[in-house]
């Protein structure tokens, strides 16, 4: 920090000599004893700092050490040696993934595309559903009836990912010697949406259906629960707003257009931005539980690709780390960007 | 005076009732079907004669499940992980969040960033796996041979929950704390007797979040717990699904019920406990989404 000369020295008019500025002496003193003062403050409040230690250690060991482990993406992977002793190999893994021209590179681009598409479709189809549901809930005047509907739609949220995917797997399973195709597949055949062969082969074995199954099961699982926040925004609207609109002669649709939607808008914007921020953090668990070797073309995302190449006997942990590194960096930029926009747009930042 | 409904309003009302009913029934149907299929006879399940109601009712799939020691073992493992995992994570979070909520904490911004950064950037599966392997080695070397403790201690901490708690603690009026200090309360007493009672509902919400993520935890439990007897319920369900839906393995199946019924029975068994406690936790669940962690 640069200051003016007079900050440090003052001219003594009587003797014509310069003295040290007494304020600066105080500042110097503070600076000289900065760490001492820090130490004193910590010693005085030591209980507060001790309370924080377990949390800091947990985050250090199991959140920050893996980030150090991530440096393996620049090293020749050798699981026997610790990362610090592995040989440096620069960006060769990144090069191989991005422009390698081999099957690994092709898989990487396929996974990148799938990651984007699954999130993007989630944004297009999964995001509006809770809003629509909340508008519908608002139409039900009887509290008891609304509660019944709400409980019914929240219900799928209480299943774990494993149970949910198990149920989905069973409902669209293939036909075989141990039983006919799943009940949902049969319904789709009856409705003429799919042919019998397709249903018999199992919808989860068909790459063309993976995205649809992923999105529909996502809506089934969380649309009801996600509508809570939007419904809360609707009931927060003051009844006087409706009355004013009615006096102005607004019908139901006009009220919806000019009262409900504008009042929900800030909630919608915040939720949308959060959603965009987590665009690349696709839940790998669900994909891992639903996909199989036949549906990699549409189902494989970066995390599952990294899992296969890094953990279950693939090309190695180094190249898998490189793939995840790229995914995570882009993801982080999206989160920070979305957060900045949120702060600008609504004066609330999410983190 | 009751206002007359306009035509557009009436139409919208009818449409919303209709679509809501359809959606709610669609949400509910898989559960009803799972229950029916789990107690229907073999022929009815295999030839899809079960649509909504059970047919040729049998309870052998359930009794086989209940007679399986591995099932109860998996259940008790899940209870163990949920209980200890929640207590550990909640304890660490409350202490940490309390310290972070204090304005007088030095380097507060740095510590906050230390937490928040983990929400922006996570290392990913592979580095985390290598890290857990190292942790496992360390745990083994100090004599903790049980991988369950690795899952309890190393996993499931969430920065978001700590921030929710921190915000709740910040909203406690500082006058109350000052009064407690005047009365000679220690730091721990202030936390225990002022802050925790005053933010009970947020703590309950956060505890619920931790408990749910523990109850549902699958991937890392499967990766890190090698001993089959220590598998939690979710891993058990998945392994059973992989086994029972494999036509080749099930070709010689000669029970009075379909192999599918076993899976459905398992699914029902894992949902029922949650449905029983659902009415009690519902209000905390709804609250959690409203808290939202919004902070200037």
With CB atoms and an 8 Å threshold, state whether B125 touches A306: yes
Domain of B103, in residue numbers:
69-234+280-291
- Range B216-220 average pLDDT: 91
Q: Which residue of B has its CA nearest to A139?
A: B13
* pTM for the model: 0.86
Q: Distance from CA of residue A288 to its chain's centroid?
A: 17
* Mean predicted lDDT score pLDDT of chain B: 87
A 10 A CB-CB count for A32 gives 10
Asked if pLDDT for residue A31 goes beyond 70, the answer is yes
CATH code of the domain made up of A97-346: 1.10.3720.10
Q: What is the pLDDT of residues B155-183, one digit of tens each?
A: 888 888 999 899 889 988 888 888 998 99
Is B204 among the domain residues?
yes
Tell me if B120 is assigned to some domain. yes
pLDDT of residue A323 exceeding 80: yes
Report pLDDT digits (tens) over A292-319. Answer: 889 999 999 999 998 888 887 666 788 8
**Mean pLDDT, range A134-145, rounded to an integer:** 88
By three-state DSSP, how is residue B267 classified? helix
Q: Would the pLDDT of B291 be above 50?
A: no
Contact A59 B118 (CB under 8 A): yes
B117 in any annotated domain: yes
| Per-window interface: A 3-32 vs B, CB < 8 A | none
Find the mean pLDDT for residues B274-294. 67
Q: Do A172 and A164 contact (CB within 8 A), yes or no?
A: no
Report d(CA A316, CA A313) in Å as an integer.
7
Cα-based distances in Å from B188 to A54, A106, B192, B200, B278: 15, 57, 6, 17, 33
The stretch A194-204 carries a mean pLDDT of 87
Position B290 pLDDT exceeds 60: no
pLDDT tens for A81-117 read 677 777 777 788 888 888 877 888 999 999 999 998 9
Asked if A193 and A168 count as a contact pair (C-beta separation under 8 A), the reply is: no
Structure tokens at B147: 């991988």
Is residue B220 assigned to a domain? yes
CA–CA gap between residue B208 and residue B204 (Å, rounded): 6
| pLDDT reported for residue B97 | 95
- At a CB cut-off of 8 Å and minimum separation 6, what does A236 contact? A263
Q: Is residue B118 scored above 80 in pLDDT?
A: yes
pLDDT tens track for B26-82: 999 999 999 999 998 888 888 888 888 888 888 988 998 899 899 999 999 999 999
Structure-token match 């690994």, residue found: A104
| Largest distance between two CA atoms of chain A | 110
Cβ distance of B27 and A173 shorter than 8 Å: no
User: Is B175 domain-assigned?
Assistant: yes
Residue A179, helix vs strand vs coil: strand
Within a domain: B5: no
In a domain, B210, yes or no: yes
What are the boundaries of each domain within chain A? 1-44, 97-346
Residue given tokens 């090293």 in the structure block = A75
- Is the pLDDT assigned to residue B1 strictly greater than 50? no
What are the pLDDT digits (tens) for B270-280?
888 888 888 78
As a whole number of angstroms, the distance between CA A310 and CA A5 comes to 60
In a domain, B263, yes or no: no
> Structural domain tally of chain B?
1
Alpha-carbon distance A22 to nearest alpha carbon in chain B (angstroms): 28
Q: Which of B7, B44, B110, B126 to mutate to probe the A interface, most A CBs <10 Å?
A: B126
The predicted pLDDT at position A97 comes to 86
Q: What is the pLDDT of residue B293?
A: 41
Confidence of residue A272 (pLDDT cuts 50, 70, 90): confident
Comparing CA positions, the residue from A73, A313, A164 lying closest to residue B124 is: A73
pLDDT at position B41 is 86
CA-based torsion, B178, B179, B181, B187: positive or negative: negative
**Looking at residues A171-197, what average pLDDT do you find?**
86
If we measure between CA atoms, which residue out of A301, A296, A287, A294 comes closest to residue A198?
A: A294
Please calculate the CA angle A342-A346-A349 and round it to the nearest 5 degrees. 45
CATH of the domain at B143: 1.10.3720.10
Instruction: Report the gap between the CA of B150 and the closest CA in chain A (Å).
Output: 11
């Amino acid at each position: 920090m640069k200051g003016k000369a007079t900050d440090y020295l003052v001219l003594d008019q009587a003797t014509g000599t310069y003295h040290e500025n007494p304020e600066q002496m105080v500042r110097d003193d503070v600076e000289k004893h900065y760490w001492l003062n820090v130490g004193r403050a910590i010693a005085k409040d030591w209980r507060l700092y001790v309370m924080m230690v377990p949390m800091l250690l947990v985050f250090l060991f199991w959140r920050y050490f893996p980030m150090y482990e991530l440096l393996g993406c620049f090293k020749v992977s050798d699981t026997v040696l610790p990362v610090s002793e592995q040989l440096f190999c620069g960006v060769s893994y990144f090069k191989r993934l991005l422009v390698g021209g081999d099957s690994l590179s092709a898989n990487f681009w396929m996974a990148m595309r799938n990651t984007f598409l699954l999130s993007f479709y989630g944004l297009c189809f999964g995001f509006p559903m809770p809003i629509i549901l909340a508008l519908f809930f608002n139409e039900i005047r009887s509290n008891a009836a609304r509660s019944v509907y709400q409980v019914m739609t929240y219900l799928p949220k209480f299943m774990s990912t494993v149970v949910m995917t198990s149920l989905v797997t069973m409902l669209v399973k293939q036909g075989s010697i141990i039983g006919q195709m799943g009940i949902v597949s049969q319904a789709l055949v009856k409705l003429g949406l799919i042919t019998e062969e397709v249903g018999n082969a199992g919808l989860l074995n068909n790459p063309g259906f993976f995205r649809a199954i992923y999105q529909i099961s996502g809506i089934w699982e969380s649309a009801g629960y996600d509508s809570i926040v939007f419904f809360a925004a609707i009931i927060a609207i003051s009844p006087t707003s409706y009355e004013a609109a009615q006096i102005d002669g607004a019908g139901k649709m006009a009220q919806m257009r000019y009262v409900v939607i504008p009042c929900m808008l800030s909630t919608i914007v915040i939720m949308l931005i959060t959603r965009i921020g987590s665009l690349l953090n696709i839940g790998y668990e669900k994909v891992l539980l639903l996909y199989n070797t036949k549906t990699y073309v549409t189902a494989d995302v970066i995390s599952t690709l990294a899992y296969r190449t890094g953990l279950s006997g693939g090309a190695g942990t180094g190249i898998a780390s490189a793939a995840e590194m790229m995914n995570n960096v882009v993801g982080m930029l999206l989160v920070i960007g979305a957060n900045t926009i949120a702060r600008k747009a609504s004066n609330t930042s999410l983190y | 005076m009751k206002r007359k409904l306009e035509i557009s309003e009436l139409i919208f009302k009818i449409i919303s009732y209709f679509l809501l009913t359809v959606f709610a029934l669609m949400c509910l149907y898989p559960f009803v079907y799972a229950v029916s299929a789990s107690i229907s006879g073999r022929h009815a399940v295999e030839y899809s004669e079960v649509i909504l109601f059970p047919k040729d009712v049998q309870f052998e799939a359930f009794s086989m499940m209940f007679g399986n020691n591995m099932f109860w073992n998996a259940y008790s493992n899940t209870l163990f992980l949920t209980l200890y995992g929640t207590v550990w994570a909640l304890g660490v979070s409350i202490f940490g969040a309390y310290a972070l909520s204090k304005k007088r904490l030095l380097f507060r911004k740095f510590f906050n960033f230390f937490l928040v950064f983990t929400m922006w950037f996570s290392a990913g599966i592979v580095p985390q796996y290598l890290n857990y392997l190292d942790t496992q080695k360390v745990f083994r070397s100090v004599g903790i041979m049980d991988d369950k403790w690795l899952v309890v201690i190393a996993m499931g901490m969430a920065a978001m929950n700590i921030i929710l708690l921190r915000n709740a603690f910040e909203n406690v009026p500082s006058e109350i704390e000052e009064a407690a200090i005047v009365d000679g309360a220690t730091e721990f007493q202030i936390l225990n007797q002022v802050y925790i009672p005053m933010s009970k509902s947020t703590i309950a919400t956060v505890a619920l979040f931790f408990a749910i993520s523990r109850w549902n935890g699958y991937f890392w439990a499967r990766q890190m717990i090698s001993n089959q007897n220590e598998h939690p319920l979710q891993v058990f369900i998945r392994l059973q699904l992989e086994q029972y839906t494999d036509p080749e393995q099930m070709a010689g199946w000669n029970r009075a019920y379909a192999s599918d019924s076993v899976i459905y029975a398992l699914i029902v068994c894992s949902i029922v406990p949650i449905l029983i406690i659902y009415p009690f936790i519902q209000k905390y669940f709804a609250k959690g989404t409203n808290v939202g962690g919004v902070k200037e």
